[in-house]
Amino acid sequence: MSLDGTYDDGNIFARILRGEIPSARVFEDDHVLAFMDAFPQTRGHTLVIPKYSSARNLLDEEPQVVGPLFLGVQRVARAVRAALMPDGIIVTQFNGAPAGQTVFHLHVHIIPRWDGDAPGRHAAGAMADMAELQALAKVIAAQIS
């Protein structure tokens, strides 16, 4: 799907939001939900999504949703740092399949990085163990402030 298209409310993140499929939830407020990426590029790879949104990507999003989304991203990124003490953190998002997007509900990746550690490839890794993701979600959630 390119930059143009119709939002499909059967996408995997919409289903996670509705609780139809399990996820390792880290944080939730009135605006955003954060949960662990099921195919993490590094340990602690977390996703933040707007809760009330029919935007496939950043360009589609209502301006009033963008501010609270990125406040949530900053809050969760700080918690990832405090919990896992990485040497760096990638904050990124992809718009359209040619850019690497595979799930078409706006989302932001928080990917902790450690010196000397190579991250896995985007959307090409193995599925993580749910119990491990839940444990990571718990240690990150404990650092939300």
- Binding to ligand 5GP, residues 66-125 (CB under 6 A): 94, 100-103, 123
Is residue 49 a contact partner of residue 13, using CB atoms and an 8 Å limit? yes
* Residue 5 binds ligand 5GP (CB under 6 A): no
Q: Which is nearer to ligand 5GP, 42 or 145 (CB)?
A: 42
User: Is 107 among the residues known to form the active site?
Assistant: yes
Tell me how far, at minimum, the Cβ of 22 lies from ligand 5GP, in Å.
Answer: 8
Select the residue interacting with ligand 5GP from 1, 3, 12, 139 (CB under 6 A).
Answer: 12
Residue type at 124 in one-letter notation: A
Query: Which residue in this structure is represented by tokens 């009135």?
Result: 30
d(CA 18, CA 35): 13
Q: Contacts with ligand 5GP in 25-54 (CB under 6 A)?
A: 35, 37-39
Q: Which is nearer to ligand 5GP, 74 or 102 (CB)?
A: 102
Token pair in block for residue 58: 């950043």
Catalytic residue among 31, 107, 109, 122: 107
User: Which helix (DSSP H) or strand (DSSP E) does residue 88 occupy?
Assistant: strand 88-92
Q: How far is the CB of 77 from ligand 5GP (least distance, A)?
A: 16
The three-class DSSP label of residue 97 is helix
What minimum distance in Å lies between the beta carbon of 12 and ligand 5GP?
A: 5
Find the length of the chain: 145
Q: Which residues contact 13 (CB under 8 A, 6 or more apart)?
A: 47, 49, 103, 105, 107
- Which are the catalytic amino acids? 107
Binding interface with ligand 5GP (CB under 6 A): 12, 23, 35, 37-39, 94, 100-103, 123
